[in-house]
């Protein structure tokens, strides 16, 4: 198990998949606070002669801009990074080879999932801390409680999308076959979220975790508002893992 | 070692059965050759026997126990070399070996193996920089990681130059001398002649003939003598059966009266038998 986990980390690191994802996080952590700080200067530089009244940037807005960039572009990079995690190995025969070693099928999947989750968790927490501190040095301190809660929302949502990618990658034959539906689902769930955002259904919808990031930062929402969307998302994650594992345990490799 | 009875298999996506009722035994300590034209189902049979394809019909017994009962400990005992060598190309050859060696209780002396196969010097290179032949040799080392008691080899010499194929065949023979059992599938009859104690020919998803290479040659053997001689301005050929040669007057007449250019004895090769029993030309 440890062997598999380490192999997974090492080969994904060397193939530049994990670094690509981490670099994107780092990019937004550094760029977004900077952009917000100098937004007014930049705009007035290009729009000389016009008088544009912009509110001064708040640290909360800067941190939120980092979080939402990650929740869109970061997650898309994640999907590209993870869509082949099982499908690619099934396609090129690595899965068959590994499973002809003393490695159980659940073990094989678990090692992969753990490696992916650890990179997401460590990467997100580290980059969010960086973005927070960097924002603080440029614009002042954002509300700490809200920032932590909003980061947790993003983290759980990212893991949710990662699990969808993983499940499709396990069930389908090629990386592209797995990536396509995941991306589609990701966009579609974003659209559905906009439609139901003010209804009661939103409480039971994973994307609500993202919608709550702003109110959490602005202290207009509290941890209690997270209970349902968090519970639903966690259950969905577990169900998908079970589905992937069950189907994989019976799969003809 | 193995008893396979009425084995049938259909790939989930296919309509036709690939394996249609195979019966054979593999005895402890032998090299058992599974022969047949490409696409007949040799690799499929191997994959069933290493439990990658599990939805088969019929029964397979390994060491007198149903294969289905074995869990992942089965793989502590067997070594598997797939047809297409798969490696982690981002890892070095050494990592490819050492990573996976840790999975086993019983570990082989892979340095010696790598030295014999001539890839020891390159062990720190990433496998993506390996040539095809080097990957094939590395693939063999990885099948031997655990000093297996049973070795599955699927076309192990395909893609190797003659010198390396020679080394590999010697290693396979040594493995048997050390008490190992091998299931070897191939369509190269040279390998078979040299390595296999018994062979099974496959055609249409079934086994159509099982025996030792020697008795197959005897059974299908029609040794003959072919004579080329000058007739007018042309060369002519004529064949005579070896068995009845001493009573064949036509043969003696010819030898006495014609100008002979050459005289060859022809024994049946496994190639001939292959064509006869499978109905397909092998391309040795
Ligand atoms: N994964 C698969 N899905 C569907 N059909 C397959 C698959 N693998 C092999 N086949 C088919 O099964 C038959 C036997 O293939 P294989 O066992 O590889 O033959 P061999 O090893 O004797 O060359 C072929 O007709 C091939 O097309
Ligand atoms: Mg084959």
Cα–Cα separations (whole angstroms), residue B80 to A65, A102, B77, B146: 52, 12, 10, 10
User: How far is the centre of ligand 2, averaged over its atoms, from the C-alpha of B45 (Å)?
Assistant: 9
- Residues of chain B in contact with residue A14, where contact means CB-CB under 8 angstroms, are 90-91
Per DSSP, the three-state class of B79 is: strand
Which has the closest alpha carbon to B198: B34, B4, B83? B34
Count of domains observed in chain B = 2
Interface of B with A in 97-126 (CB under 8 A): 99-100, 102-104
d(Cα A209, Cα A228) in Å, to the nearest integer? 10
Number of Cβ pairs closer than 8 Å across A and B?
A: 63
Statement to judge: residues B94 and B235 lie in one domain:
no
Q: Is residue B103 domain-shared with residue B186, that is, in the same domain?
A: yes
Q: What are the beta bridge partners of residue B60?
A: B4
| Residue B47 included in any domain | yes
Cα gap B222→B242, rounded to integer Å: 8
pLDDT in tens, A45-60: 766 666 666 667 888 8
Residue B15 lies in a domain: yes
- Band the pLDDT of B280: cuts 50, 70, 90: low
Q: What average pLDDT does range B158-163 have in this prediction?
A: 88
Please state the rounded mean pLDDT for residues A237-253: 93
Pair (B106, B234) in one structural domain: no
Residue B283 lies in a domain: no
Query: Which helix H or strand E contains B30, and what residues bound it?
Result: none
Contact B203/B18 with Cβ under 8 angstroms?
no
Residues B6 and B57 both lie in one domain: yes
Q: Is B91 in Cβ contact with A10 (below 8 Å)?
A: yes
* Two structure tokens written together for A139: 């614009």
The shortest CB-CB distance from A7 to any of B53, B99, B104 is to B99
Instruction: Among A3, A7, A100, select the one facing B50 at the smallest CB separation.
Output: A100
State whether B204 and B258 are in the same domain: no
Q: How many CB atoms lie within 10 A of CB A28?
A: 22
Q: Are B116 and B171 in contact (CB under 8 A)?
A: yes
Instruction: Establish if B117 belongs to a structural domain.
Output: yes
Average pLDDT score over chain B: 88
- DSSP state for residue A188 in the 8-state scheme: H
Q: Residue B40: nearest ligand to its CA?
A: 1
CATH number, domain at B78? 3.40.50.300
The phi and psi torsions of B270 (rounded to 5 degrees) equal -60, -30
Decide if A100 and B80 are in contact by the 8 Å CB cutoff: yes
The stretches of chain B forming alpha helices (DSSP H) are: 42-49, 74-77, 93-101, 110-116, 132-143, 162-177, 189-195, 213-220, 249-257, 270-278
CA distances from A166 to A93, A160, B284 (A): 18, 10, 44
CA distances from A96 to B44, B58, B82, B92 (A): 12, 22, 9, 20
Q: Is position B64 within any domain?
A: yes
Q: List the beta bridge partners of residue B9.
A: B19
Instruction: Determine, yes or no, domain membership for B232.
Output: yes
- Predicted confidence at residue B281, as pLDDT, reads 59
In a domain, B281, yes or no: no
- B207 and B244 in a single domain? The answer is no
Does residue B53 sit at the A interface (CB-CB below 8 Å)? Answer: yes
Does B254 lie in the same domain as B236? yes
Kindly state if the Cβ of B110 falls inside 6 Å of ligand 1.
Answer: no
- Over residues B186-195, the mean pLDDT reads 84
Domain of residue B199: give its range.
Answer: 2-212
pLDDT tens across B116-156, in order? 999 999 989 988 888 888 999 999 999 999 999 999 999 98
pLDDT band for position A35 (cuts 50, 70, 90): confident
- Percent over 90 (pLDDT), chain B: 38
Give B212-226 pLDDT, tens digit per residue: 988 888 787 777 888
Which tens digit of pLDDT belongs to each residue from A198-211?
777 777 888 888 88
pLDDT, tens digit, for every residue of A113-162? 999 999 999 999 999 999 999 888 888 888 888 899 999 999 999 999 99
Examine the domain organization and report whether B7 and B99 are in the same domain.
yes
Q: Are B265 and B276 in contact (CB under 8 A)?
A: no
- Per DSSP, the three-state class of A243 is helix
B252 and B149 in a common domain: no
Task: Give chain A's mean pLDDT.
Answer: 88
What 3-state DSSP class applies to B4? strand
Name the most confidently modeled range: A5-19, A39-53, B24-38.
B24-38
SS3 A57: coil
Segment A90-113 shows an average pLDDT of: 91
Give mean pLDDT, residues B12-33: 92
Residues B150 and B38 in one domain: yes
Average pLDDT over residues B65-84: 90
Do B134 and B259 lie in one domain? The reply is no
Q: Is residue B41 part of a domain?
A: yes
Q: Do both B100 and B170 map to the same domain? A: yes
Task: Single out the residue in B212, B246, B275 at which a domain terminates.
Answer: B212
B88 vs A72, residue with greater confidence: A72
How many whole angstroms separate alpha carbon A166 and alpha carbon A158?
Answer: 12
């Amino acid at each position: 198990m440890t062997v598999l986990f380490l192999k997974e980390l090492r080969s994904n690191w060397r193939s530049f998949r994990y670094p690509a994802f981490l670099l994107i996080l780092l990019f937004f952590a550094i760029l977004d606070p900077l952009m917000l700080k100098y937004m007014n200067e930049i705009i007035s530089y290009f729009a000389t002669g016009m008088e544009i009244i912009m509110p001064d940037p708040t640290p909360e807005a800067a941190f939120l801009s980092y979080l939402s960039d990650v929740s869109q572009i970061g997650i898309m990079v994640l999907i590209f990074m993870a869509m082949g995690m099982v499908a690619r190995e099934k396609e090129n025969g690595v899965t068959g080879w590994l499973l002809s070693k003393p490695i159980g099928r659940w073990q094989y999947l678990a090692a992969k999932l753990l490696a992916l989750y650890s990179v997401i968790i460590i990467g997100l927490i580290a980059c969010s801390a960086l973005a927070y501190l960097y924002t603080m040095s440029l614009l002042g301190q954002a509300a700490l409680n809200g920032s932590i809660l909003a980061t947790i929302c993003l983290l759980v949502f990212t893991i949710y999308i990662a699990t969808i990618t993983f499940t499709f990658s396990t069930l389908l034959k090629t990386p592209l076959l797995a990536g396509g539906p995941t991306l589609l689902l990701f966009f579609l769930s974003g659209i559905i979220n906009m439609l139901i955002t003010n209804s009661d259904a939103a409480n039971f919808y994973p994307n609500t975790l993202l919608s709550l990031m702003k109110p959490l930062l602005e202290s207009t929402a509290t941890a209690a508002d997270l209970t349902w969307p968090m519970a639903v998302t966690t259950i969905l994650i577990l169900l998908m893992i079970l589905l992937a594992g069950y189907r994989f345990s019976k799969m003809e490799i | 070692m193995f008893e396979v009875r009425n084995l049938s298999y259909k790939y989930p996506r296919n309509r036709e059965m690939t394996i249609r009722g195979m019966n054979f035994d593999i005895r402890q300590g032998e090299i058992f050759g599974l022969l047949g034209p490409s696409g007949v189902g040799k690799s499929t049979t191997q994959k069933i026997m290493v439990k990658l394809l599990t939805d088969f019909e019929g029964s397979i017994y390994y060491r007198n126990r149903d294969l289905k009962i074995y869990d992942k400990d089965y793989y502590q005992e067997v070594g598997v070399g797939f047809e297409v060598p798969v490696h982690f190309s981002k890892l070095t050859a050494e990592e490819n070996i050492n990573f996976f060696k840790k999975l086993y209780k019983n570990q082989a002396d892979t340095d010696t193996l790598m030295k014999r196969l001539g890839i020891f010097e390159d062990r720190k290179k990433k496998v993506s920089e390996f040539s095809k032949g080097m990957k094939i040799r590395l693939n063999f080392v990885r099948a031997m990681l655990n000093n297996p008691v049973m070795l599955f080899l699927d076309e192990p010499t395909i893609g190797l130059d003659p010198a390396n194929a020679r080394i590999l065949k010697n290693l396979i023979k040594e493995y048997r001398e050390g008490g190992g059992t091998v299931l070897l599938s191939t369509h190269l009859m040279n390998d078979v002649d040299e390595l296999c104690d018994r062979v099974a020919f496959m055609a249409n998803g079934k086994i159509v003939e099982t025996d030792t290479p020697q008795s197959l040659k005897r059974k299908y053997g029609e040794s003959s003598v072919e004579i080329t001689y000058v007739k007018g301005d042309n060369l002519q050929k004529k064949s005579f059966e070896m068995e009845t040669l001493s009573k064949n007057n036509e043969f003696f007449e010819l030898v006495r009266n014609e100008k002979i250019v050459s005289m060859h004895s022809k024994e049946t090769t496994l190639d001939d038998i292959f064509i006869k029993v499978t109905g397909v030309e092998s391309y040795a």
